[in-house]
Chains A and B, each alone.
Chain A
Amino acid sequence: RKEVEQDPGPFNVPEGATVAFNCTYSNSASQSFFWYRQDCRKEPKLLMSVYSSGNEDGRFTAQLNRASQYISLLIRDSKLSDSATYLCVVNKKSNYQLIWGAGTKLIIKP
């Protein structure tokens, strides 16, 4: 079993729709959680950190459920520019490694 698992994609959704990404992690010692966005043939860029209380940044909302070892990302009112691959990442404070999911590709159609 992979340490970080994400929904296999791609997700094809119409512009304006709400999209939800799911991610599970296997190591209960994980303490930091992130969503990164990666455009085709580019480097990953931090989209948002995920906090236990949940957090929102404009159209983006991230949730963490430690008991279920589950992380989510919700994108509301999706734009064409949201088309990218979304990567779920976890980190153990005792360890310097970022553990990455394989990513879920999102394609927003006009």
Chain B
Amino acid sequence: ETGVTQSPTHLIKTRGQQVTLRCSSQSGHNTVSWYQQALGQGPQFIFQYYREEENGRGNFPPRFSGLQFPNYSSELNVNALELDDSALYLCASSLGTSGDTQYFGPGTRLTVL
């Protein structure tokens, strides 16, 4: 196993609600990246956090926001949920920001009804 954990594993919400997903990075890793994977698609980059600062962002609206804590764990918050937000949300931890050798958690499967 990678040592990256995510919670919860599954979540069901309704349109308009807000959700917070959590990720604990592998020991010694200071970077967390978040991805959204819709059914039948590859993961899409949401954003990355490095040493508690957002280090880059993909093509996602501002209602997707995040945080990284001093212990390098991270949260992904999504406001005003839409049906299309239903997906597997993956976090990946790494040492540094180059994108190489990212270790993925098991993901949180979000269903928006």
> What is the interface of chain A, defined by CB distance below 8 A to chain B?
4, 32, 41-46, 49, 87, 89, 91-93, 95-103
**Inter-chain contact total with CB atoms closer than 8 Å:** 56
Judge whether B30 is part of the interface by a CB distance below 8 angstroms: no
Chain A residues, Cβ within 8 Å of B58: 97
Contact between A102 and B45, CB atoms less than 8 A apart: no
| CB-nearest residue of chain A to B97 | A96
Number of B residues with CB within 8 Å of any CB on chain A: 25
Chain B's interface: helix, strand, loop or mixed, by majority? loop
Q: Which residue of A lies closest to B31 (CB)?
A: A96
- Output the nearest chain B residue to A98 by Cβ-Cβ distance: B99
Q: How far, in angstroms, from A45 to B33 measured CA to CA in the complex?
A: 15
Contact present for B98 and A91 (CB under 8 Å)? yes
B101 touches A96 (CB 8 A): no
* Chain B 35-76 near chain A by CB (<8 Å), digits 1 or 0: 100001111110010000001101000000000000000000
